[in-house]
């Protein structure tokens, strides 16, 4: 009987296209049905001069508009006939601001849990830039709607833009769009008049202030275009800094080095604090570029990356005369390491694998990518979904004698909560060990000192390694001050290196 392939790109493409088609069709039907029921007999009655919308009803519907998947301009076309040009523009802007604040609040909640930890671990300088320049970014996205209105609002909240900047950029930046569609739908207006008035509005309210700002910027020695180039170079420099690997020439064949494998959409930099902590404890630490978006952020296929690891480890062992390595892998990196160990013969070179927050039962978060065009590009999403063929084959694998797998897991981990982070082969194996640390979140596995202490104890083979449980640990309490100091020192050293690199650029 022919063995089932662990991954099918054709199956992924078909599934994503079918699901996306059904979703788009469903959203169109939902929006049409909702507004038809609100407007009366048919959708056209929403744009009639005798529309029954009052100001309060209009504002409530405008605020809830994103949740029935209706574009911003729709409310402007409703407001024109209902309230006239001036009042229509006013109510459209106020309603748009209400929906923006609501969506941004949702984004702020998601960003605190997911975006901020990721940015802190991977692009801290870019995160600072976004926070400092938030009003420029928000104003540009409102004025030139490259990103749809409500997705931009979600972005503002997730990246922690300041509320006052969200408010004024939304009111001013969406004014031209509101003006155009209110005038188009107004019973006394024509398309030609709307176009002429819009050009005049943009010239007075947008272009002239931008020209004035450019004049002042040039007087200060740097034009807006030069600032944009600087922003691009800073981001590029930080990405390159993430991707830079220091070639180790001093690996001792008498010691077992530790290979760090980072997780999905992360870079080597996300493991930087853990690398310093393990190095401080006497380990030789190495890591590889795993490829992906911009050659830095890990979005490559798990299977292909496991083969890449196999090639690199073999060259490393031959070059330095090593006998073994240890592996510490975070999140998706645990899949890569385990597939290499169980399917590609990696157990000949590695006898200890430590996984940190790897969702061995699959992650439902991947469906957020699979229902978007990203699902057509990122093959790892299909592999990490619950019940995938890849995961089934991984759990049916036999663990070789001598290989021990230590799975760090936590109830606070939003990606691999509790037992989702535990590898459970069929049949169960005594070679798999659960390390429970319920006070740690997904990215805190990479920075908390008591986690590093536990990893070091496992790799050293210590029988007195502290075991953590639900409410924290003695190790955590006694080392909290050291953890903070070490993290701050590491961040300071990292910032110094980045700034030096940026000055070179």
pLDDT at 261: 94
Share of the chain above pLDDT 70, in %: 75
Check: CB of residue 277 under 8 Å from CB of residue 489. no
Domains and CATH numbers, the chain: 40-227 (no CATH), 252-483 (3.40.50.1820)
Task: Output the 3-class SS for 32-48.
Answer: HHHHHHHHCCCHHHHHC
158/217: higher pLDDT: 158
Alpha helices in 112-162 (DSSP H): 116-122, 124-132, 134-143, 149-158
Residue 334's pLDDT band, with cuts at 50, 70 and 90, is very high
Which of the two residues, 145 and 98, has the higher pLDDT score?
98
Could you give the C-alpha distances from 445 to 58, 412, 454, in angstroms and in order?
Answer: 48, 11, 11
Residue 281 CA, chain-centre distance (Å), reads 31
Q: Pairing state of beta strands 285-287 and 350-356?
A: unpaired
Partner residues linked to 406 by β-bridges: 354, 433
Lowest mean pLDDT across 35-39, 47-51, 180-184, 435-439: 47-51
3-state DSSP call for residue 384? Answer: coil
The tokens of 47 are what? 């744009």
**Which long-range contacts (C-beta less than 8 Å, at least 24 apart) are formed by 63-67?**
63/95, 63/98, 63/99, 63/102, 64/99, 65/95, 65/99, 66/99, 66/102, 66/103, 66/150, 66/153
pLDDT at residue 392, rounded to an integer: 93
How confident is residue 143, by pLDDT bands cut at 50, 70 and 90? confident
Mean pLDDT computed over 149-156: 91
* CA 37 to centroid of chain Cα atoms: 37
Helix and strand counts by DSSP (H, E) for the chain = 22, 6
- Give residue 362's pLDDT band: very low, low, confident or very high (50, 70, 90): very high
- Judged against a pLDDT cut of 70, whether residue 238 lies above it is answered with no
Type and span of the H or E element at 293:
none
* Residue 90 confidence (pLDDT): 92
* Average pLDDT estimate for 342-354: 93
* pLDDT(202) > 80: no
Are the beta carbons of 184 and 191 closer than 8 angstroms?
yes
- Is the pLDDT score of 479 beyond 60? no
Handedness of CA 326, 362, 394, 436 (dihedral sign): positive
- Mean pLDDT (the chain, rounded): 80
Residues 6 or more apart whose CB falls under 8 angstroms from that of 505 comprise 233, 234, 236, 237
What digits encode the pLDDT tens for the residues 381-413?
Answer: 999 999 999 999 999 998 998 999 999 999 999
**Predicted pLDDT of residue 224:** 55
User: pLDDT by residue (tens digit) across 421-432?
Assistant: 999 998 888 999
Percent of residues, the chain, with pLDDT higher than 90: 35
Quote the pLDDT of residue 84: 82
Instruction: Report the pLDDT value the prediction gives residue 1, as an integer from 0 to 100.
Output: 37
Q: What is the pLDDT of residue 211?
A: 66
Mean pLDDT across 26-42: 80
Residue with tokens 């996984």: 355
pLDDT-based confidence at residue 124 (cuts at 50, 70, 90): confident
Helix axes 208-219, 224-243, angle to 10 degrees: 70
pLDDT band at 240 (very low <50, low <70, confident <90, very high): low
What integer pLDDT is reported at residue 182 of this predicted model?
83
Spatial strand order in the sheet of 325-330: 285-287, 258-261, 325-330, 350-356, 404-409, 432-436
Are 258 and 284 in contact, with CB atoms under 8 Å apart?
Answer: yes
Alpha helix stretches (DSSP H) within 321-422: 332-343, 367-370, 379-383, 389-395
Burial of 249 (0-12, 13-18, 19+ CB in 10 A): exposed
Is 307 or 123 the better-scoring residue by pLDDT? 307
Range of weakest confidence among 198-207, 272-281, 306-315, 331-340: 198-207
Residue range 274-289: mean pLDDT, rounded: 89
Which is higher by pLDDT, 122 or 107?
A: 107
Q: What is the pLDDT of residue 262?
A: 92
Residue range 322-348: mean pLDDT, rounded: 93
């Amino acid at each position: 009987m022919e063995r089932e392939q662990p991954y099918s790109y054709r199956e992924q493409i078909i599934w994503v296209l079918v699901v996306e088609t059904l979703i788009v069709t469903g959203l169109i039907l939902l929006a049409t049905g909702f507004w038809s029921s609100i407007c009366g007999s048919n959708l056209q009655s929403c744009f009639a001069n005798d529309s029954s919308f009052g100001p309060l009803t209009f504002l409530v519907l405008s605020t809830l508009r994103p949740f029935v998947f209706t574009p911003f301009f729709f409310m402007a076309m409703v407001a024109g006939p209902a309230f006239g040009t001036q009042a229509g523009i006013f109510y459209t802007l106020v309603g748009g601001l209400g929906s923006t604040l609501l969506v941004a609040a949702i984004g702020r909640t998601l960003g605190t849990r997911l975006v901020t930890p990721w940015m802190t671990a991977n692009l801290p300088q870019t995160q600072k830039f976004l926070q400092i320049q938030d009003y420029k970014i928000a104003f540009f996205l409102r004025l030139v709607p490259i990103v749809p209105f409500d997705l931009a609002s979600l972005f503002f909240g997730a990246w922690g833009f300041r509320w006052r900047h969200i408010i004024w950029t939304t009111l001013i930046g969406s004014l031209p769009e509101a003006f155009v569609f209110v005038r188009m739908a107004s019973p006394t207006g024509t398309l030609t008049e709307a176009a002429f008035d819009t050009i005049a509005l943009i010239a007075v309210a947008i272009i002239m202030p931008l020209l004035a700002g450019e004049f002042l910027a040039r007087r200060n020695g740097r034009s807006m275009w030069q600032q944009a180039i600087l922003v691009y170079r800073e981001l590029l420099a930080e990405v390159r800094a993430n991707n830079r690997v220091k070639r180790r020439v001093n690996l001792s064949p008498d010691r077992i080095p530790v290979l760090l494998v980072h997780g999905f959409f992360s870079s080597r930099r996300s493991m930087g604090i853990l690398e310093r902590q393990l190095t401080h404890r006497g380990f030789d630490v190495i890591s590889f570029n795993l490829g992906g978006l911009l050659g830095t952020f890990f979005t490559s296929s798990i299977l292909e990356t496991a083969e890449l690891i196999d090639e690199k480890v073999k060259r490393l062992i031959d070059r330095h005369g090593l006998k073994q390595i240890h592996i510490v892998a975070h999140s998706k990196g645990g899949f890569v390491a385990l597939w290499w160990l169980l399917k590609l013969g990696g157990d000949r070179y590695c006898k200890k694998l430590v996984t940190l927050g790897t969702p061995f039962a699959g992650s439902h978060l991947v469906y957020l990518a699979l229902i978007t065009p990203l699902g057509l590009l990122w093959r790892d999403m299909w592999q990490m979904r619950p019940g995938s063929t890849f995961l089934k084959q991984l759990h049916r694998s036999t663990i070789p004698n001598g290989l021990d797998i230590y799975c760090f897991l936590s109830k606070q981990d939003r990606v691999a909560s509790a037992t989702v982070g535990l590898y459970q082969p069929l049949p169960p194996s005594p070679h798999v060990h659960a390390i429970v640390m319920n006070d740690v979140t997904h990215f805190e596995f990479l920075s908390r000192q008591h986690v590093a202490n536990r990893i070091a104890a496992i790799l050293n083979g210590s029988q007195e390694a502290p075991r953590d449980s639900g409410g924290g640990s003695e190790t955590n309490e006694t080392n909290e001050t050291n953890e903070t100091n070490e993290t701050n020192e590491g961040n300071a050293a990292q910032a110094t290196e980045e700034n030096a690199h940026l000055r070179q650029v």
